[in-house]
């Protein structure tokens, strides 16, 4: 049988974490602009905006969010 989760720790973590819409705004804007104007892949299948996408994912992960 599993141990009960300490709810005080869970609620504090959720309260301290900012909303996803409020973090990584610069990275998100750069990623979105690249995807809008350059698309996702060229004829060879190379993802044109991969670096910007990875920067955005890394930034979000640093704030406790998981982006797939």
> Helix/strand/coil (H, E, C) string of the chain?
CCCCCCHHHHHHHHHHCCCHHHCCHHHHHHHHHHHHHHCCECCCCCECCHHHHHHHHHHHHHCCCCCC
Q: Which residue has the higher pLDDT, 20 or 13?
A: 20
Annotated binding site for Cu cation: 21-22
Average pLDDT in the 28-36 region? Answer: 92
pTM: 0.70
Residue list for the binding site: 21-22
Q: With 60 as the cut, is the pLDDT of residue 37 above it?
A: yes
CB 17 within 8 A of CB 63: yes
Percent of the chain with pLDDT over 70: 75
């Amino acid at each position: 049988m599993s141990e009960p989760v300490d709810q005080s720790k869970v609620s504090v973590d959720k309260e301290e974490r900012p909303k996803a819409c409020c973090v990584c705004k610069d990275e998100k804007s750069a990623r979105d602009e690249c995807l809008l104007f350059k698309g996702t892949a060229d004829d060879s299948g190379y993802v044109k905006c991969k670096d910007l996408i990875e920067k955005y994912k890394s930034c979000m992960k640093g704030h406790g969010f998981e982006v797939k």
